[in-house]
């Protein structure tokens, strides 16, 4: 049975995350670890530098903030780093050492505004700027506006002025818009609604793996809405299966574990029967510990699709007979490509030219 309640909770979370997004009235947005900062005073540009409310930026890092009204000095402290700024003073201090600022802290609408890059980098963060969207990205993936949902794992974004199709990687959602109606899964309404939250509530963060495009020219990405990864959410809800194509396997282990839980709890399509036991590649797969004195063959030859050697990190086709054929004592059999990757194996250059 489809878990409507869980989906609606996620929709509510996403709507709250993006309910304040406005592309016209507030042209500068600040993201910290993919979360959009909610600010009571809009960021301002001074001499090409972005200033934001002091307390908001410090507290987003978990720093403690104090204010000295007599000297008009603010202090933020986090894990041994102490930053001090005084209103209209171009000299700040980091752990007591003077630092020349491009622009000083100022007061705007009763709020102390400070240079966001200076504060963030002083606290060890990486800061980027997206001119097209006017986004300050602090330890964050770049964010883009979703313009259209194609199906459960594919959508279109405004990629800095160019419309790009994005395919969620590491997962596969059953067809919902296939030209052949017989290949479509009928119960896709909630999946589409889930995906449409991205286009309704603002920007989505895109994280790329080692290969950023497929053979069709689509961008390959993990999509983030705040701290929630859409790819993983679809697995949790039982609306997607794990499907990995090397070299994009960054979250494979996490995805496998998430799918296992959805399978056991009969979430989504696992419970409705649209996914079956045969679809679940994780079942029966194992992870070997090479620190142990292993003796092969390991695994099931009858159900395996790939093989490898305990003493190497390459996987091979089952019919592999190249010079240096693997001895039985070193043989390991893999149930799927994901299974081989899960164990840290890479493609053999001879088998996969």
Q: What is the helix (H) or strand (E) element at residue 45, kind and residue range? A: strand 44-46
Domain housing 92 = 38-138
pLDDT, tens only, 238-255 = 888 888 777 788 888 788
Residue 124 covered by a domain = yes
The answer to whether residue 277 is domain-embedded is no
Catalytic residue, chosen from 59, 77, 121, 175, is 175
Q: Look up 175 and say whether it is catalytic.
A: yes
- Give the residue carrying structure tokens 């980098």: 121
User: What is the value of pTM for the model shown?
Assistant: 0.68
Return the bridge partners of 67, or none.
74
Categorize the per-residue pLDDT at 289 as very low, low, confident or very high, splitting at 50, 70 and 90: low
Q: What angle do CA 39, 137, 155 make, to 5 degrees?
A: 100
CATH classification of the domain holding 97: 3.30.457.10
Q: Which residues on adjacent β-strands are paired with residue 99? A: 92
Q: Which residues contact 199 (CB under 8 A, 6 or more apart)?
A: 145, 146, 147, 148, 149, 155
Q: What is the mean pLDDT of the chain?
A: 82
Q: Which whole-number Å values give the CA distances from 253 to 231, 249, 279, in the listed order?
A: 13, 8, 17
Asked whether residue 240 is domain-assigned, the answer is: yes
Sign of CA dihedral 141, 142, 146, 150: negative
Which pLDDT band holds residue 338 (cuts at 50, 70, 90)? Answer: confident
Cβ neighbours of residue 163 under 8 Å, at least 6 residues apart? 147, 156, 157
Please indicate whether residue 6 is annotated as part of the active site.
no
What's the domain count of the chain? 2
Q: What is the CA radius of gyration of the chain?
A: 25
167 tagged catalytic: yes
- 52 plus 132 within the same structural domain: yes
Residues 68 and 109 in one domain: yes
- Please say whether the beta carbons of 78 and 61 come within 8 A: yes
pLDDT score recorded for residue 9: 44
The single residue of 117, 167, 190, 281 carrying the catalytic annotation is 167
Active-site entry in 6, 33, 111, 218:
218
């Amino acid at each position: 049975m489809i878990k409507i309640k869980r989906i609606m909770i996620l929709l509510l979370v996403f709507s709250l995350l993006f309910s304040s997004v406005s592309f016209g009235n507030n042209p500068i947005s600040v993201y910290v670890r993919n979360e959009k900062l909610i600010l009571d005073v809009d960021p301002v540009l001074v001499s090409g530098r972005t200033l934001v409310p002091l307390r908001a930026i410090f507290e987003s890092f978990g720093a403690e903030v104090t204010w000295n009204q007599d000297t008009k000095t603010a202090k933020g402290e986090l894990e041994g780093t102490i930053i001090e700024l005084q209103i209209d003073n171009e000299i700040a201090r980091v752990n007591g050492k003077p630092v020349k600022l491009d622009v000083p802290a100022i007061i705007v609408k009763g709020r102390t505004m400070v240079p966001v890059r200076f504060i963030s980098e002083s606290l060890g963060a990486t800061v980027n700027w997206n001119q097209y969207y006017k986004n300050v990205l602090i330890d964050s993936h770049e964010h883009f506006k979703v313009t259209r949902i194609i199906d459960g794992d594919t959508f279109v974004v405004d990629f800095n002025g160019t419309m790009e199709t994005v395919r969620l990687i590491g997962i596969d959602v059953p067809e919902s818009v296939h030209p052949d109606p017989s290949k479509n899964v009928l119960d896709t309404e909630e999946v589409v609604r889930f995906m449409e939250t991205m286009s309704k509530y603002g920007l989505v963060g895109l994280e790329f793996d080692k290969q950023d495009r497929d053979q069709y020219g689509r961008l390959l990405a993990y999509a983030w809405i705040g701290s929630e990864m859409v790819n993983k959410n679809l697995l949790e809800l039982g609306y997607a299966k794990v499907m990995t194509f090397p070299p994009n396997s960054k979250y494979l282990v996490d995805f496998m574990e998430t799918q296992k839980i959805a399978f056991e709890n009969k979430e989504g399509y696992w419970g409705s029967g649209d996914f079956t036991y045969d679809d679940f590649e994780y079942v029966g797969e194992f992870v070997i510990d090479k620190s142990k004195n292993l003796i092969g063959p390991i695994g099931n030859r009858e159900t395996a699709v790939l093989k490898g050697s305990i003493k190497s990190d390459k996987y091979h086709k089952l019919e592999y007979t190249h010079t240096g054929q693997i001895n039985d004592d070193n043989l390991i059999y893999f149930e799927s490509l994901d299974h081989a990757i899960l164990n840290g194996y890479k493609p053999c250059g001879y088998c996969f030219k």
